[in-house]
Amino acid sequence: MNAPLTTEAHDRPARLAVGVVGAGRVGAALGAALALAGHRPVAASGVSDASRRRAAELLPGVELADPAEVLARADLVLLTVPDDVLPGLVTGLAGTGAVRPGQLLVHTSGRYGTAVLDPALRRGALPLALHPVMTFTGTSVDVQRLAGCSFGVTAPEELRLAAEALVIEMGGEPEWIEERARPLYHAALALGANHLVTLVAQSMELLRTAGVAAPDRMLGPLLGAALDNALRSGDAALTGPVARGDAGTVAAHVAELRAHAPQALAGYLAMARTTADRALDNGLLKPELAQELLGVLGDEER
């Protein structure tokens, strides 16, 4: 692990003028974190009312401008726009001459490495991919959550130390991701975090249907323990009817979901089959029980 940067003025990297293109939840939070590290946010672009409110709250006094003007004022530019927008934005900025030689151009997409910044690289920019592995609310709490947050870092080898230093200044922990591995890295994060939200929300809906008044309070301790156990032990943390091979219980679940929440049935079946496969591969599910269980799940698919 890299040692934190000292706060002594003579040891700190040169302070940079920071611009944010796309003052959404991520951009505003990272801009604020860089300001706390001593850098100077100078301009931000934001189209929606929500973006403007975030900029006013997290980047007070920073003028809103169009993207080209943001680049004109900044030494370090955060490109915090949706993944599908990023390639066109970079091409457009490079094509209009907005990119300056020696300018640090940082995007926060998990999907892309630095190749997406090649049009700017050809204009002399210094490309960095710094993806914070965190969900963002668009409020000041996001800046606090960056403490200890992992960042997926991809950069040319000669900029690796600079990239890691910026992450550490924002309170994060740099994790090097090879360019070719970025799509798989991002898929893994989406599989875990995004699908977790869907599963929890769906579980709460079903508990309300079952008459539970406070499903969040019921699920909190259970899911917290399950997450902690999974992070510590992986597949060995599996419990429940699928891992035990209780085909009758699973069949009862399927019948209840079909009757009361058919929209949840496909997800339950998909996750149950995946859980059964992993439990079988890891020796948690006995082969003689797996056959009947997979038969129940397979019958539902037909």
Q: Is the pLDDT of residue 258 over 60?
A: yes
Going from the C-alpha of 144 to that of each of 90, 169, 285, the distances in angstroms are 30, 13, 42
Indicate whether 51 and 189 sit together in one domain.
Answer: no
Structural domain contains residue 121: yes
Domain range spanning residue 230?
A: 185-301
**Which CATH number does the domain housing residue 109 bear?**
3.40.50.720
- Please choose, from the candidates 12, 71, 2, 70, the residue with its C-alpha nearest in 3D space to the C-alpha of residue 37: 12
Indicate whether 53 and 151 sit together in one domain.
Answer: yes
Q: Mean pLDDT throughout 43-72?
A: 91
Q: Mean pLDDT throughout 18-38?
A: 94
Indicate whether 15 and 123 sit together in one domain.
Answer: yes
Token digits for 260? 């009361």
Q: Mean pLDDT throughout 33-60?
A: 91
Indicate whether 142 and 159 sit together in one domain.
Answer: yes
| pLDDT of res. 285 | 94
Q: Is the pLDDT of residue 250 over 50?
A: yes
- Please choose, from the candidates 19, 126, 266, the residue with its C-alpha nearest in 3D space to the C-alpha of residue 274: 266
Are residues 93 and 127 in contact, defined by beta-carbon separation less than 8 angstroms? Answer: no
Q: Where among 129, 153, 177 does a domain terminate?
A: 177
Indicate whether 199 and 164 sit together in one domain.
Answer: no
Structural domain contains residue 227: yes
Q: Mean pLDDT throughout 75-91?
A: 97
Average pLDDT, the chain: 92
| pLDDT of res. 13 | 53
> pLDDT above 90 covers what percent of the chain?
86
- Please choose, from the candidates 34, 98, 103, 99, the residue with its C-alpha nearest in 3D space to the C-alpha of residue 75: 103
Beta bridge partners of 153: 130, 176
| pLDDT of res. 301 | 52
Structural domain contains residue 164: yes
Are residues 70 and 82 in contact, defined by beta-carbon separation less than 8 angstroms? Answer: no
Torsion angle of alpha carbons 92, 96, 98, 99, nearest 10°?
A: 70
Q: Kindly give, in sequence order, each residue whose CB lies less than 8 Å from that of residue 45, ignoring residues fewer than 6 positions away.
A: 20, 21, 22, 23, 64, 65, 66, 67, 69, 70
Residue 300: which pLDDT band, with cuts at 50, 70 and 90? low
Indicate whether 44 and 19 sit together in one domain.
Answer: yes
Structural domain contains residue 2: no
Q: Mean pLDDT throughout 207-236?
A: 97
> pLDDT above 70 covers what percent of the chain?
94
User: φ, ψ for residue 64 (rounded to 5)?
Assistant: -85, 135
| pLDDT of res. 24 | 87
| pLDDT of res. 3 | 37
| pLDDT of res. 47 | 79
Beta bridge partners of 128: 106
Number of domains in the chain: 2
Residue 202: which pLDDT band, with cuts at 50, 70 and 90? very high
Residue 276: which pLDDT band, with cuts at 50, 70 and 90? very high
Structural domain contains residue 139: yes
Tens-place pLDDT, residues 149-169 = 999 999 999 999 999 999 999
Token digits for 276? 């059964």
pTM: 0.88
| pLDDT of res. 23 | 84
